[in-house]
Structures are given as C-alpha cells and as structure tokens.
Structure 1
C-alpha cells in the first residue's frame, strides 16, 4: 500500500506505566483511514498479542501524514480494545509535521481476503535537528561581498597617497606621462563619492530585491567588478569619480542583500553569529587594502579589488534562493528544496516551511483586509528602530575617525607614530568583530547595545578631555608626550565597544525586525539612512573641528552616544533566539 518508516522515538507513558517502544510507522495518509486502522489492528495481532496501536494525524498545506505507533505493554497488561470504526480506543493525537524522506528499505502491507498476511518493518532513521554546515558555507560565500566592500572602503587612503606621490615625483622629474594630477579637494571627493553612491544604492536595493535576493547579488556583482576594472585604466580623475560612485552604489546593494539573505536562511541559534561574519570580512577587507596598498600603486590595488566581486558571483551561482522569498512569490516546492538544502538532507523542514507560508499568507491577508493600516503602520516601528540606530551609529564619530585617523593621532600624539596607532586600532577592530559573533547569540542584542553605548560615550568623552588638556598645554609650549597612551586607550575602548555592539547589531536588526513582504523596503530605508549619515559625518568633521576644536567634536560625539543609550533602552527590543515570524507578529501588533 505505501512506504513505511521506522523511528525509535519516545512514546507517551500514559499508554502503559512500563511500556517498551517497538515500532513507529510513518506513511502518506490513505483515502480511507479507518480501513487501514482495521488492517493494522488485525494484522498487528491486537487480539491476544498484547500489542497496542496509537495513531497521530498530521496535516499541513504541503502533505498529510499519519503516524502510527505500536507499543508492546509489559506482562500483565490486558490487550487494548478497538472501537467500531477500527480505531484504538486510546488514540492520542499530536501535531508533528513529517517531511517524506527517501526510504532505504520498502515495507508493504499485503491485503488478503479477510486480513493482511504479513507486515514487515525496516529502519530509516531521520532527524528534526538542522545541520549548520550549509548555512555556514552560504555565509562564507556571501561574506565575499562585504570583503569587496571593505577592500573598497580601505582603497581611498593608499590610493590617494599613491596618486600624490606619483604627482610629486612627476613634478620633480618633469615627466607627466600617465600621471593623474589630483588636488586636495579632488582627493576628498575620491574618498567620499563612494558613500554618496552607496546612499542611492541603498534606495535602489530594496526595490531590486523584489526580483530575488540571489538574482540581485549575481547581477550586481558584474558592474561592481567592472567599476574597479575601469579604475585600473582611468585616464583622468573624473573617471575615478564615476567609478567611485558606481562602486559605492553596488557596494550598498551587496551589503544590504547579503544581510537579508543571512537573516532568511539562518536558524535563530546562529543567525547573529553568521551576521557577524559579514562584518568581520568587511574589516578584513580594510586591513588587506591598507597592507597591500603599502606595496602596490593605485592601479594595481584596483585590479586586486576587482577580483572579489567576481568570486562572489561564482559562489552565489551555486546557492539557492532563500525559502522566504520563494514562498513569497508562490514557489513552494522550490522553497521546500531550498530549505532542505540549508537544513540538511535528513532534517524535518515541514514545520518551519509551514510557519513561513502562514506568515506570508497572514501578511497578505492583513494587507488585503486593512490596506491602509498595514501599508505603513506595520513597518513604522521597525523603521524608527533601525533608522534611529543607523543615525546614532554614523554620528558616533566612527566614520570620521576612520577617515582621519592618522591626522587625529598626529594632533594628540607627542612622540608615538600615528600610523602605528592607526594600525593598532584596525587590528583591535577586527578582533572585536570576531568576538561579537560569539556574544551576539549568547549574551543577546540588547545587553551588548547598552554596554556599547555606555563605553563609547565614556571613551569619546575621555578622548575629548585629553585633546582639550593637550591643546591647552601646547598653547603654553608644553608637550605631554608621556601621556600618549591615554588617547590610544580611549580610541581602543571606543573601537571595541563600537565593533561589538551598535555596529554589527544595527545591521542585524534590519533583517530581523521587518516583516517579510516589507523587508526589501525596510532594508532600503535603513541602508539609505546609514550611508547618508556616513557621508554627512565625514564631510562635517572638519567643520566641527574648526568651530569647536578637536575636543569639542569628540564631546559632541560623546553626547550622541548618550542619546543612543536612551534610545536603545526605550525602543529597541531583544531578538535573541526568536523566530522571524514571532518578531514580525509583535511588530505588526498581532
């Protein structure tokens, strides 16, 4: 009649105080369930054999499955009775979705004239526990996108230095062949136009994700790599402006889609860790650019960076689309295969797939019945939280410091090499990101955000105070070189707090807080806020410094961090260990 599957799972002790588990069958539901129960009753030898049959009926939108369990009671237990419909009088019903697995051995019940002649059973072990290996491999493949973004982020510093060095050499030799001249103002645009491009990329990325997360990554990787190849052969500084804008545009899309992809394919236990992997690879990219840029000129460095998006394209080509997106567009069979790929071939994915489908259907139903309410109100809370965190993150001074690290240390260090301080900060940033991947899913998002804001505000206030103290003494002709460790310590504390808290978690919450059908729009808004804040903070740092002094600028950033602490305590929820569907229901007020 059908394939059977045996699984030695626990049985309810209510059946018998001293029962012995024997067999558990799983098979597709027949049309007439009562006939099958009668056959198993007679064939199983319930009369006089002391065998008790229990049944479980499971029905989902993908499959309907009956689970029959047969238990041998201990000695002295009377045989159980069967009712007129052929069912055991002690049937227990539970909800345990079963996904059909490929049987290793087939078992059939052969019907005779009055009752089955023989029933044989074979072993096919399955597990409901997901495997992490596919999710980890997917995260490593996606991390090539942030790696490319980090390479681009770190490109401007060595590239501008290389351009200026070649220009100075050409001035001394009088040979300007293949030399691009660059002014200080042009250099500032080379450094910042990628952020402006990222602003528009964030706006476009949310719309593009309607065509699929995987497809957008594949398509964006091509112009991303091409922008760096064009930089290699740039004939004038205006071409570098254009390629910087295009590179930033593609960078924002890749970062946003990668984060959403991770949030949709990772289980709750490791979602935060895998999200932190993206940030870690971004920091690795910056370090590689700084290190390699010390030995290569700006054209050669651009050639190296162009390889990263190409490797991303090849890696993503072997990965499936996310199950959530496939369910969203009505491709449920593909969604089941995708989810099985990410959870492992032996994992039970029926329950999770049903949750995803019900979440999508509920969202569509709410939008149809209350189009005005759920068109905006359902995402208002996530928008305020994620965009607010992005504003506080960008105006905390991190971007300004990364852009002007050497010049800032040059103003505050008496005898220490400012480049050594910048390198130390970069390594600490990477190590902190590695540690954050472990703490996000163990400590939780909210405690890390609170601790991050507290230590950031203290470190920034301390740095500003030292800058004021140093400025006063320098005006009197004194140099306090013996206290060089104070600004370095403050910056290291700030870097650790920033890299372990608000930096990775603000991006992680984009994929966690927005409902599935609005995740693209929400990601676009939050990403746009992020890059707009980054562009403004980098451009206004010099103005702040001229108006308030270096100490005043850092005191301002400290005040922003205090404001972020109040915002986090009042508005940001804890999402540790929660399913996306649970958080979506909460944000929609259902």
Structure 2
C-alpha cells in the first residue's frame, strides 16, 4: 500500500502539539536536576531550610521522585484509558504544580522530601504521555516526534542547571512552578487523541480531532479514511485475520475494507485483551528486554558518578559548568535522534549506538583502570559515551513502547514498561557500588560494554523495524515467527 505523504501544514501543527506535550518532559528535567545544585545549600549551616539535611536526607531527595514514579506507574494505564490521553496528561501535570507549591510554602526538610515524592507521580504520567504523541502523529514522522520527549527532558535539565547558576533559590522554585502551571494550560488547548475518541465511541469528536491534526476539512474523505483505519486497529478480529495470512499484503487488503465494528468502549478489560493478543505479548517481551539492556549499559550510573570524575579530570572547572555542558551534550544528541530515527529506522540506530556505546565503555573502563591517557581524555569519553548512547539507546525503547501495541492495550502495556523501567534503574544503581568495591570501577565498565554488544546482537536478530508502519502493520511483524522477523 502506497503511503500518503505528510503536508507541510500537517507537519507544523503536529510538531507544535508535540512541543506542547513535551513541555511535560521539561518538568521532569526540572525535578531531576534541582537537587544536584541545591545539595550544597541544603547541607550547609546557612541553609534556607529549617535545618541542614543529613546524608540520608540528601539520598532521599534524589531518590524519592523515582519512588513516586514507580508507585504511580500501575495507575497510568487506567488513567489514560479512562480519562483520555489529553486529560490524563493534564492530570499528571498537577503533581509538578503541587510539589513546587509545597516547596514554596515550607522550609521543613520532611515536607520538601514529600514534595519531591509527589512530583515523581508526574514523572510516571509524563513517560506514558508518549502515547498521546504517537496517536496524533503521522506514521512517517511518528518516531521523530515521539523522540522529542527525550529532548524535552534534557532541555529541562539544561534550563534548570542554568537557572541554578544565576538565580536565587526562591526565584528558581517560582520559575519551575510557573512553567509547570503553564504546561497544563497549554495542553488544555489541544484536541484529544482521535484514537481514544474512536475507542470510546465519539466519532464526531474524533473527526474534528483528525481535521485539526491532519489540516483537512472535517467532512473530507481523508478524515473518513483515518477513522476507518483506527476502527480496523480496534477490531478484535484483526489479529486473527493477520495471523491467518501472516503477510503484509493481507494488511493492505484489510485497509481497503470498511469493517463494521462497534465504536463503543470495549466490554473487555485491557488485561483480557492483552491475554488474547499474541502480538502484544511478544511486543511487550521485546520492549522489556530492550529497555532492560539499554538501562544496564551504564549511562545511568555514569551520570551519578560523573561529578567526581569531572572533579578529578578538570578540577579547575566549576561542577555546575560541567553539569551544564553534560546536559547540553544530552540535548544535542537527543535532537539528532529526532532527525535520524525516521530516516534510518529504530533497529539500525539501536544496533549502531549499542555497538558504539560498547566501544566507549571498553575505552572508559581501560582508562579508569590503567590511566593510559591524560585526565582530559576521561572527560572526552564521558561526553562521547553520553552522546552516542542518547542518539539511540536512551530514546528508542520509549518510542517502541508507544507504537508497537494495539490501541486497546497501549496504555496498559506502557504502564508495565514504565514500572519495569523504574525497577531496572533501581537494580542498576543498587548493584553499582558493591560491584565497584568488589572488582573496581574500570572492570564494571567492561560489564557495561558486554551488555552493549549483547543489546546490539539482540536488536539485529529480534527487533523488527517499525519505521513508517501503522499499528496493524506492526502487529504483522510480531505475529511472524522469529526466522521471518530476522529477514524483515
């Protein structure tokens, strides 16, 4: 089936809407970056708080947002399927506002920690909000627009670090609060996802949404075709028909047929639909493996360990300046991913960046163990590894999670993926220090390099290419046996 090309006006409005939704990711960046440059003040005797924070308090300050995110993840799927993609995204913007309001009103250490935990609830919703982007984006640019969420996150970190270097404590907090409230207001101006509207039987509203995002008349044939396409993806018979033929040509034929289905809320729960969907189960396993592998590649712990490494390698450079440069490195790499992901595909970028990350971690491990190069080379390797990793490995698992599942189980499966993301991150961080104490920092990075190369091999053999494909076409890839998928 020949793919329709995206119009300029359609590209612009979808990009603008994506920018608004990705402003949520900026809020996550604010929450994650804020503790790093407030720690010195919080621990000093001249702290703005009621008392200096202890080392345990500081650990909680950085970790409690993750706890809030983990606890909220199981409820994200329900919220996005019940309230809709738009209103659920707005709802999960509220914890950011509440968190910053609490910080402005209290100097009590306990309440500041509670505020950060509450803000973590917003992080869980922000991650699942990628569904919203994937459902309003044209297939040809879906990957790039979804990847913009990572750019929003790194932009938030960069902005927060920069503000922390030039504004006072309360000025930073008030700025973060204002931007959090503005985010909710801006998202409120966007139409709901047409996929969700069809899912709950609101076809007229879905037609208006498609008209807005596709920049066509609400009565045009293009709107009618898009609704038929969404209905096809929601048809419970779809997977059986695709599995019977197990061929993309079957998908093309089905797309030409106007299947009559009930455009009402499904009587089955997402869990029931998931149990019956072989393609969704296979897709979930694939995404969980890729997500676990990319987290275990070591960039998470490198960020934690970057400050002491920077101090050792470039002691004359202020730590805040190093952090700003690192955030800028991440941001530029994520923007490059936005440009490349729909040109070269998810699979290709995963293979290349996993392999390149493996090379970087081997070199970094050898440098940390043997110091065979000047100290500045350590800094160069940190920036290089961070850049290469972010171009693909850091972003693509989240893109896959937002696009490989059928609409009726998409929110449910994303909640599972995000919950496992928190678990993977926790495991990686919790085993890092014991491993360093047992074998040394350098050899730990050799372990990371092994994971990188294994991730590249798995991506080559087991991850199907989803570039430019619609949801029903993606299901065909997961319904094929492994040998067929390898040659895809």
Task: Give the one of 67, 80, 87 matched to 1:215.
Answer: 87
Q: Is the 8 A contact 1:146 1:279 kept in 2?
A: yes
**Partner residue in 1 for 2:45:** 168
Determine helix, strand or coil for the equivalent of 2:395: helix
Q: Is the 8 A contact 1:459 1:494 kept in 2?
A: yes
- Alignment partners' CA distance in 2, 1:506 and 1:372: 23
**Partner residue in 2 for 1:504:** 395
Relative to structure 1, the CA distance from residue 506 to residue 335 in structure 2 (aligned partners, 3 Å threshold; closer, same or farther) is same
Q: Is the 8 A contact 1:445 1:574 kept in 2?
A: yes
- Alignment partners' CA distance in 1, 2:480 and 2:364: 43
C-alpha deviation, 1:571, in angstroms = 1.5
Q: Is the 8 A contact 1:232 1:302 kept in 2?
A: yes
Q: Is the 8 A contact 1:163 1:298 kept in 2?
A: no
**Partner residue in 2 for 1:542:** 433
- Alignment partners' CA distance in 1, 2:194 and 2:75: 23
- Alignment partners' CA distance in 2, 1:256 and 1:503: 16
Tell me the alpha carbon deviations over residues 378-408 of structure 1, each in whole angstroms, 9 at most, x when there is no partner.
4211111111122122222112122231113
**Partner residue in 2 for 1:359:** 233
Alignment of 1:138 onto 2:10: no
Task: Give the one of 384, 388, 396 matched to 1:493.
Answer: 384
Between Structure 1 and Structure 2, the one with more helix by share is: 2
**Partner residue in 2 for 1:154:** 33
Instruction: Answer 1 or 2: higher relative contact order, Cα 8 Å, separation at least 6.
Output: 2
Relative to structure 1, the CA distance from residue 351 to residue 139 in structure 2 (aligned partners, 3 Å threshold; closer, same or farther) is same
- Alignment partners' CA distance in 2, 1:195 and 1:407: 23
- Alignment partners' CA distance in 1, 2:316 and 2:382: 14
Relative to structure 1, the CA distance from residue 364 to residue 243 in structure 2 (aligned partners, 3 Å threshold; closer, same or farther) is farther
Tell me the alpha carbon deviations over residues 8-29 of structure 1, each in whole angstroms, 9 at most, x when there is no partner.
xxxxxxxxxxxxxxxxxxxxxx
- Alignment partners' CA distance in 2, 1:128 and 1:390: 33
Q: Is the 8 A contact 2:42 2:49 kept in 1?
A: no
- Alignment partners' CA distance in 2, 1:298 and 1:396: 35
Relative to structure 1, the CA distance from residue 234 to residue 556 in structure 2 (aligned partners, 3 Å threshold; closer, same or farther) is farther
Alignment of 1:249 onto 2:150: no
C-alpha deviation, 1:560, in angstroms = 1.7
TM-score, normalised to structure 2, is: 0.85
Alignment of 1:260 onto 2:134: no
Determine helix, strand or coil for the equivalent of 2:369: helix
C-alpha deviation, 1:535, in angstroms = 2.6
Q: Let me know the Cα RMSD of the aligned residues.
A: 2.8
Determine helix, strand or coil for the equivalent of 1:169: coil
Q: How does 1:121-520 map to 2 (within 5 A)?
A: 131-164=10-43, 167-169=44-46, 178-211=49-82, 212-257=84-129, 259-346=130-217, 348-362=222-236, 374-375=275-276, 377-411=278-312, 413=313, 417=317, 419=319, 420-470=321-371, 483-520=374-411
C-alpha deviation, 1:577, in angstroms = 1.2
- Alignment partners' CA distance in 2, 1:135 and 1:518: 24
Task: Give the one of 564, 574, 585 matched to 2:465.
Answer: 574
- Alignment partners' CA distance in 1, 2:152 and 2:8: 28
Q: Is the 8 A contact 1:425 1:492 kept in 2?
A: yes
Q: How does 1:92-131 map to 2 (within 5 A)?
A: 131=10
C-alpha deviation, 1:436, in angstroms = 1.1
- Alignment partners' CA distance in 1, 2:365 and 2:7: 54
**Partner residue in 1 for 2:423:** 532
Relative to structure 1, the CA distance from residue 549 to residue 254 in structure 2 (aligned partners, 3 Å threshold; closer, same or farther) is same
Relative to structure 1, the CA distance from residue 578 to residue 547 in structure 2 (aligned partners, 3 Å threshold; closer, same or farther) is same
Relative to structure 1, the CA distance from residue 575 to residue 311 in structure 2 (aligned partners, 3 Å threshold; closer, same or farther) is same
Task: Structure 2: state its 5+ residue gaps.
Answer: 241-265, 482-488
C-alpha deviation, 1:297, in angstroms = 4.7
- Alignment partners' CA distance in 1, 2:125 and 2:17: 18
Q: Is the 8 A contact 1:336 1:349 kept in 2?
A: yes
Q: Is the 8 A contact 1:385 1:572 kept in 2?
A: yes
What number of residue pairs does the alignment pair up? 446
- Alignment partners' CA distance in 1, 2:282 and 2:86: 27
Q: Is the 8 A contact 1:453 1:502 kept in 2?
A: yes
**Partner residue in 2 for 1:476:** none
Relative to structure 1, the CA distance from residue 213 to residue 368 in structure 2 (aligned partners, 3 Å threshold; closer, same or farther) is closer
Determine helix, strand or coil for the equivalent of 1:514: coil
C-alpha deviation, 1:364, in angstroms = 8.2
Tell me the alpha carbon deviations over residues 254-290 of structure 1, each in whole angstroms, 9 at most, x when there is no partner.
2212x10111010011112211222111111101111
Tell me the alpha carbon deviations over residues 130-164 of structure 1, each in whole angstroms, 9 at most, x when there is no partner.
72222112101101100111111111101212212
Relative to structure 1, the CA distance from residue 128 to residue 311 in structure 2 (aligned partners, 3 Å threshold; closer, same or farther) is closer
Q: Tell me which moved more, 348-357 or 433-442.
A: 348-357
Q: Which has the larger radius of gyration?
A: 1
- Alignment partners' CA distance in 1, 2:239 and 2:427: 41
Q: Is the 8 A contact 1:379 1:588 kept in 2?
A: no
C-alpha deviation, 1:189, in angstroms = 1.2
- Alignment partners' CA distance in 2, 1:514 and 1:520: 9
Relative to structure 1, the CA distance from residue 356 to residue 210 in structure 2 (aligned partners, 3 Å threshold; closer, same or farther) is same
TM-score, normalised to structure 1, is: 0.71
